[in-house]
Amino acid sequence: MPLKPQTLGTALNEKLTLHSALCRREVGAFQTAVQSGDDVVVACTQEKRLFAEIGQQTEAATSVIRFVNIRETGGWSKDAANASPKIAALLAVAHLPEAEPVATVSYKSSGRLLIVGALDQAEQVAALLADALDVTIFSQGVSAQAQAGFPGQERKYPVISGAGLSIKGWLGAFEAKWEKNNPIDLDLCTRCNACVAVCPEAAIDLSYQIDIDKCKSHRDCVSVCKVAGAIDFSREAQTVTEAFDLVLDLGAQPLLTLHAPPQGYFAAAAGLAAPGLLATVVKLRDMVGEFEKPKFFAYKQKLCAHSRNETVGCNACVDICSAGAISSEKKRNQISVNPNLCIGCGACTTVCPTGALTYAYPRASEQGVRLKTLLSTYAKAGGSHPVLLLHSQGSGQQAVDALGRAAQLQKTVQGVPANVIAQALWHTASVGLDIWLSAIAFGATQVVVLVTDEEAPAYLEGLAEQMQVAQTILNGLGYAGVHFHLLPAQINGGAQAVASLDASLQSLGRARPMAAVTPARFAVAQEKRSTLDMALDHLIVHAPAALPEAIALPRQGSPFGSLLVNTDTCTLCLSCVSACPASALQDNPERPQLRFIEKNCVQCGLCVKTCPEHAIELQPRLLLTSQRKETRVLNEAQPYQCIRCSKPFGTLKAIESMLGKLAGHAMFQGAAADRLKMCGDCRVIDIYSADNELKITDIR
């Protein structure tokens, strides 16, 4: 890997010393550096653990130590000779401080484990865990592989059984609920097997449960169980609930089918043959005590477009959450996010049009600093046409590392191109439209999101919708080419998968879509709409072609747009104004008008669903004229004046519509009909001053 210390130092504004054997040989130089008090960046992660330990043990070491991998992502490539700008960018980002701490979510586990599955298999797994955990088995019969006399006769663990088992909760707070309907009381059963031996229908197996469909009511089992008294067919079924800290599900059909099940729940549908079962057992043994994780999200209810007046508008976050952590509370006009179930994927923040949900760890503002530093340093070091490759810290990082190693060992693999800059995220779904467009404004020519089997299908759909919106905006502004890509990668696909990823990256590295000539200088804000406005303003100012009046956007996922109001059917009841969560729709206190500020509209659809006349239609688009930020009138009407005092109190269309609907009603004839034409004050006066009407107080 050809490193150029002088070139890198110029880009980083510091003097660099070249170390070519950070694998252990230059420990002395490292110790001297950490005693200096300056921040120390180790440009290799091969011996990260060793160097971290040495840093802690070195006397008078006061430096902050950070690690960055420039080997697989930069140096191990056929294009390594041109990778200096990328390496400079990676080193610059490594100098940035860690993300600010956020609130944490706590879990407490006492080690109460529920193993669900065939009794024989559950007992085998329990034997590996019983010395560390308090094991209870929920028996689901015996496996097809169980031999005679198996499960064991000795009752080593509590065994429960029943029908309709359900699980909900999370690490340290699981609730198991089932119907106890087995005629055999497993607490009283001595496992003498007499009932199994005498049952003529073989309705009782070695899990000591009775198959009611096979049982013909001979009751021979009851006769042989008189001493223990464990069998009672007259016992009524009971609903039982019990608490557990951990759940290991060996059942053929998992009890929880979420793509991201709650922490503390592990499923191994193949039973003892399940891949990774041993790793799960090892992990379970360590899950006793108190644990913490960051609270990954922040929620501002006043910005939420989920519901108004129990009418649901935007449901994007609820639909995309793969962990079941977000639920609707439409009576409270908000959503509810369970931090214990949240896995921190950030998909909800990506699809949220208003920014009511924001990603908190790291914050959007911190991500913005990283991207700006990365791209500005890359440009300063002489790099061109930068492609930002976003991947996860888990499977995504494995794919990039595998490509780097393959490039070093195989002649046919090129490796990560010099202009493709890889950046790890906690989860690829945690950044979206605002960050992507900001990256283009900061100088990136493309944004590529590397996805693996870690991502739920809903995430891929959400990311694709957001990318379609972003791409439509850039193309509409005149930036030719394709700037946003979802790049699938297989982790366990072997050499073929590595070759496929390599070919895709080589093609993207050679692509030259049009980008902004002058990099933006704005700072990414925590508020999503503010960041979008700044990114769009920069891209509009530097647009390479004449701008159209508006850019039509895809209906799915668009956070911008206008409204089309049918003025023939709209009665200006203004129910849409009260429903609008973004203040895009407004009334006029002086006259009957429906006014609109397009910049505020998030296309949530609450106005459409609230309108009693079905007079409103969404129009996804990005208006590029100054009118986007100005108030304009969508509909107005002639005011209706009170027939007594002439004060306007409604619209002519609304009053006439009401009179027409009530014309045939017996209660609204004569004077009563005239009162509908009066303002509120005059209506009351007329009721109490009328002499030709019988009042209830007149009845004796």
User: Could you tell me the pLDDT band of residue 228, with boundaries at 50, 70 and 90?
Assistant: confident
pLDDT at 578: 92
Q: CA dist 541 to 94, 289, 629, Å?
A: 32, 56, 16
Task: Answer yes or no: do 60 and 83 share one domain.
Answer: no
Question: Is it the case that residue 692 has pLDDT exceeding 80?
Answer: no
pLDDT at 694: 63
434 close to 535: Cβ distance less than 8 angstroms: yes
Question: Is it the case that residue 146 has pLDDT exceeding 80?
Answer: no
Question: Is it the case that residue 154 has pLDDT exceeding 80?
Answer: no
Look up the CATH number of the domain holding residue 130: 3.50.50
Identify whether 539 is part of a domain.
no
Identify whether 217 is part of a domain.
yes
pLDDT at 382: 93
Residues paired with 595 in a beta bridge = 586, 633
Q: CA dist 668 to 650, 664, 698, Å?
A: 19, 8, 21
Question: Is it the case that residue 254 has pLDDT exceeding 60?
Answer: yes
Question: Is it the case that residue 433 has pLDDT exceeding 90?
Answer: yes
Task: Answer yes or no: do 653 and 620 share one domain.
Answer: no
Task: Answer yes or no: do 158 and 112 share one domain.
Answer: yes
pLDDT at 327: 96
Task: Answer yes or no: do 520 and 649 share one domain.
Answer: no
Residue 595: give the domain boundaries.
Answer: 552-636
How far is the C-alpha of 69 from the C-alpha of 423, rounded, in Å? 11
116 close to 140: Cβ distance less than 8 angstroms: yes
pTM: 0.87
Select from 290, 311, 344 the last residue of a domain.
290
**Element of type H or E holding 461:** helix 457-476
Task: Answer yes or no: do 467 and 321 share one domain.
Answer: no
Based on C-alpha coordinates, what's the Rg of the chain?
Answer: 34
Question: Is it the case that residue 599 has pLDDT exceeding 90?
Answer: yes
Q: Which residue has the higher pLDDT, 617 or 51?
A: 617
How far is the C-alpha of 210 from the C-alpha of 205, rounded, in Å? 7
Strands 616-623 and 550-552: antiparallel
Q: What is the pLDDT of residues 626-636, one digit of tens each?
A: 999 999 999 99
How far is the C-alpha of 196 from the C-alpha of 146, rounded, in Å? 15
Task: Answer yes or no: do 618 and 673 share one domain.
Answer: no
User: Could you tell me the pLDDT band of residue 147, with boundaries at 50, 70 and 90?
Assistant: low
Task: Answer yes or no: do 334 and 456 share one domain.
Answer: no
In percent, the amount of the chain with pLDDT more than 70 equals: 97
Task: Give me the mean pLDDT over the 221-250 stretch.
Answer: 92
Q: Which residue has the higher pLDDT, 307 or 24?
A: 307
In 124-216 the beta strands, taken as DSSP E runs, fall at 134-139, 159-160, 163-168, 174-180
How far is the C-alpha of 16 from the C-alpha of 10, rounded, in Å? 9
Q: What is the pLDDT of residues 46-95, one digit of tens each?
A: 888 888 898 888 888 888 888 898 888 887 889 888 999 999 999 999 99
How far the first Cα of the chain sits from its last, in Å, is 107
Question: Is it the case that residue 149 has pLDDT exceeding 80?
Answer: no
Question: Is it the case that residue 359 has pLDDT exceeding 60?
Answer: yes
Q: Total structural domains in the chain?
A: 6
Task: Answer yes or no: do 200 and 281 share one domain.
Answer: yes
Residues paired with 328 in a beta bridge = 335
| 585 alpha carbon, distance to own chain's centre | 29
Range in 180-189, 343-352, 362-371, 686-695 the model is least confident about: 686-695
Residue 71 DSSP class:
I
User: Could you tell me the pLDDT band of residue 108, with boundaries at 50, 70 and 90?
Assistant: very high
651 close to 572: Cβ distance less than 8 angstroms: yes
312 close to 328: Cβ distance less than 8 angstroms: yes
pLDDT at 148: 47
Q: CA dist 141 to 178, 404, 597, Å?
A: 15, 49, 64
**For helices 5-12 and 364-380, angle between their N-to-C axes, nearest 10 degrees:** 130
The half-sphere exposure of 658 on its side-chain side, counting CA atoms within 13 A, is 16
pLDDT at 700: 57
Q: Which amino acid, one-letter code, is at 121?
A: Q
Identify whether 441 is part of a domain.
yes
Look up the CATH number of the domain holding residue 333: 3.30.70.20
Select from 325, 344, 359 the last residue of a domain.
359
pLDDT at 129: 96
Task: Answer yes or no: do 9 and 80 share one domain.
Answer: no
The edge-to-edge listing of strands for the beta sheet with 616-623 is 550-552, 616-623, 561-565
The half-sphere exposure of 438 on its side-chain side, counting CA atoms within 13 A, is 29
pLDDT at 321: 96
Strands 289-294 and 104-109: antiparallel
In this structure, how many other beta carbons lie within 10 angstroms of the beta carbon of residue 508? 20
Q: Which of 340, 524, 526 is nearest to 437 (CA)?
A: 524
User: Could you tell me the pLDDT band of residue 698, with boundaries at 50, 70 and 90?
Assistant: low
* Helix locations, 20-100, DSSP H: 27-34, 48-57, 84-94
- Helix, strand and coil content of the chain, in percent to the nearest 5, comes to 35, 20, 45
Q: What is the pLDDT of residues 545-593, one digit of tens each?
A: 999 999 999 999 999 999 999 998 998 889 999 999 999 999 998 888 9
| Sign of the dihedral defined by the CA atoms of residues 48, 50, 51, 56, in that order | positive
Task: Answer yes or no: do 275 and 397 share one domain.
Answer: no
